[in-house]
Structure 1
């Protein structure tokens, strides 16, 4: 008889969810974690980055209060106190993810490195654990690219950025994706000079270009400098406070005090002993079927950043880990046929200010997927009463729909755009027509009205058509 019904490798968002559900259903569960409970999200990612952004946002609001007639002095940034706030946010949430809490649920927590030694066996902390099912939730880590000279200069990743005891004088950020842009704006607001170096033609290259331009403009207004389409030839040690020099194609040399690598994520595959268990993996992660079951070992499943479902691909978002846990419960525990991952309504958010939220397909993605006839509905925040009242009227709601009114995607550039994304995810997931949004009664005044107005415009040509006008002309004669 196996030691455990389910052995989970990794106590990040995905692993914790699976362990809690499995134990709650009465299964014998082992949870193996070599590092900090809570994984990247709690310790190095979502929580500390949003805590830092909150502190930075407070400084930014003080600076721009003048737009509302409130004159405030330049805010004083106490870097030690900011770090304490970030650490405090982690510490306050940590008990929810702690080993003690999960042991209290009946989970056997093994604080050690896990390595497969057979198709149904894991070695951890000197113990051999046999299992009926194993779930690999080891997550991903920041990519450290091969750049000439990188070994000779100090650099940061998301795992070390929040430990800085000094405020960077000039932060060089390699990578203009969500992490790079969020940290660029946060540090600029906190009084740092910031330069973003991006090899692609533009930053936020995965996002709708129209909305990404708005993010770029906002960061540029905050003092962030950009080098887009820039090939980094090499890195060199600097002198004095400028400890790093980035040498770009064309000869430009940019000296900075700190360098942050934010060029992407890679699955944590090393050391897992996948070969001993016959588990196939590639550069993008562990190869699984759409139901997250390994293509080569039927006892093994993969969830979170490390999973690479066939025909779908990986997604490095914490909320995907929660979605994967739900798929696993249906497919692995309840054995429900036809269960599979579906990212049609998946939201993603870049937490700058304004935020850029995308649910479903962008216009470019929809056309690439074969939707040649689209209806693009826009509503600018310059026409939204709440945005005008708050002096924050820059932004846009952009809906991508079929000619019949089925929503394929929604992009939102607005303050707290992420808080509005759920509505569009529900519409796409439930295949609701734009008429459902257009007929909603929303509280006034709110930014959410932008989407309703965009949806309403979809039906305006029909409502104001010659046929409708003739019909109204006939109906007005009725008593």
Structure 2
């Protein structure tokens, strides 16, 4: 194995004014306190170029992008004996670690604690002094926990697997070559047998008059806030929008979510019962919903250099059935979807076909259209769910297919999805009868409500349900929707069953621990069994 460098050239120093400016302007990370400095030392070391003095003449596999897809591709291939490299332009760990899954769940955990404190009297607990949210400490906690998780995605950890790490922007210069552009102006040319594009995605910003000039916020800078905004307006009603709407409402912001139409969960093929339960839960958390479209954004006061000085914006909302209304806010969160990062990658030189915004075209083996030696995974791929665990699973698939001549197929993946609101909302497969009908599949629906689930009753969270959809007349599971406090944990049992062709009858026969919310999954299975019972004449 080539000699690996033991450390980066230098480190990020908490409070250094020049470095703080650089971190904010180039990496959108601030403040540069001890936790963010430690984070950056893991995922984007200062003045770092590459982890080796002796690059391989040709790499078996090179991954461009250091989110889940790139990390899994490079690490797993290196562990399995390949000459592997990772090219990291921004923050290793990608959106998930830095501006997505990890920090958002850090805030959600605090919001859940606030929700429980609000209901303290229901548990027989008196809080005569009330409670107060210290937003500065909440955000400091989030940064501390994010930093604790970061070594798993950091450059040092990747290098320890045997993969070479290059920090810079990677661009194809031919069908089997990539040029890495480093921050100091240097360039490194790498040759590969197989390459994986894992460049992820970014927030999609709508064309809205006044928005481009406004100091709006996306998930990419939301977690840098140092002062709780008194008022927040959220454009969008998807996962990021609703998770953060509930979090900030519970933390003390006055939150308004703009819902463009009546389809609360973004899809007219979503579950209506789930949508109603979730909307009611968010409203009880303090979220207000306004139906209509944002027509324009007016900036009243720009954000100043002082983090305590908050901007002020006005969002004008209109609908066909009502007069326009104006909503003022200090934080305008734009969460209206995602688009692929495919620009300036030299995809034309590599012969890779793609569409701007939608992403890279791949076949069922994850090979790009136009160059079978180049694969693509994750959010930069057209038509796949934009989820961290999808990126990671596609990366495993690519390593197996590209290096070991296998034929794992994207179409074979069974992908659960979870929104971590309170209650949680989890789906897998055809997640409603309407969605099944759209696909031409007739289904039987089995539903177990939580109103009689003992664990949920004891914890005061017995609002919700588990619905499992089976191909009509059989116990073959084709999808499910769960609304429950532990929906994200419960959905995994159903995903496993679907992946391994385990029918609903077997789930009903499986002994579940008592008392657990997961018994609702078994309840659906028992319903199926009861329909097939033999009876004495």
> Which residue of structure 1 lines up, in the alignment, with residue 25 of structure 2?
none
| Equivalenced residues, count | 460
Question: Following superposition of structure 1 onto structure 2, how do residues 282-297 of structure 1 map, counting pairs within 5 Å?
Answer: 282=355, 283-297=357-371
Q: 2:350 aligned to 277, 292, 303, which one? A: 277
| Equivalent residues in 2 for 1:458-477, closer than 5 Å | 458-463=528-533, 468-470=535-537
Question: TM-score when scaled to structure 2?
Answer: 0.83
CA contact (8 A) 2:197 2:374 kept: yes
Stretches of 4+ aligned residues off by more than 6 angstroms: none
Q: Distance in 1 between matches of 2:299 and 2:399?
A: 51
Q: In structure 2, how many angstroms separate the alpha carbons of the residues matched to 1:71 and 1:384?
A: 27
CA distance in 1: counterparts of 2:207 and 2:358, whole angstroms: 18
**How does 1:163-312 map onto structure 2 within 5 Å?**
163-206=224-267, 207-228=270-291, 230-238=292-300, 243-249=312-318, 250-282=323-355, 283-308=357-382
Query: Which of 102, 109, 112 is the matching residue for 1:57?
Result: 112
Tell me the equivalent position of 1:385.
454
Corresponding residue to 2:142 among 69, 73, 86: 86
In 2, the alpha carbon distance for the partners of 1:433 and 1:110 equals: 47
Structure 1 CA distance for aligned equivalents of residues 531 and 348 of structure 2: 61
Q: Structure 1 residues 462, 27: closer, same or farther in 2, change over 3 A?
A: closer
Deviating more after overlay: 417-426 vs 149-158: 149-158
Secondary structure of 1:237's counterpart equals: strand
Following superposition, the deviation at residue 343 of structure 1 comes to 5.9
Q: Which residue of 1 aligns with 2:523?
A: 453
Q: Aligned pair 1:404/2:478, yes or no? A: no
- Whether the 8 Å contact between 1:238 and 1:255 is mirrored in structure 2 is no
Deviation at 1:344, TM superposition (A): 5.9
Say whether residues 1:37 and 2:92 are aligned partners. yes
Q: Deviations over 1:117-150 (max 9, x none)?
A: 1111111131111111110000111111111001
RMSD: 1.5
Q: 2:46 maps to what in 1?
A: none
- For residue 332 of structure 1, give the secondary structure of its aligned residue in structure 2: helix
Give the Cα separation in 2 of the matches to 1:375 and 1:413: 19
1:326 Cα offset (Å): 2.1
Partner of residue 134 from structure 1, selected from 181, 191, 195:
195
Aligned equivalents of 2:197 and 2:373: distance in 1? 11
Q: Is the 8 A contact 1:56 1:189 kept in 2?
A: yes
Change (3 A) 1:266 1:6: same
CA distances 1:335-357 after superposition (whole Å, capped 9, x unpaired):
124x2113662100010000000
Q: Would you say the 8 A contact 2:76–2:396 is kept in 1?
A: no
Aligned to 1:10: 65
Deviations 1:193-213 (A, max 9, x none): 100012232321233222121
SS in 1 for 2:474: coil
CA contact (8 A) 1:42 1:48 kept: yes
Contact 1:153/1:243 (CA < 8 Å) preserved in 2?
Answer: no
Counterpart check, 1:421 vs 2:477: no
Kept in 2: contact 1:324–1:341 (CA 8 A): yes
TM-score of the pair, normalised by structure 1: 0.93
- The match for 1:354 is 423
Please, which runs of 5 or more residues in structure 2 have no aligned partner? 1-55, 182-186, 303-309
Match of 1:474 in 2: none
The alpha carbon displacement at 1:66 in A equals: 1.5
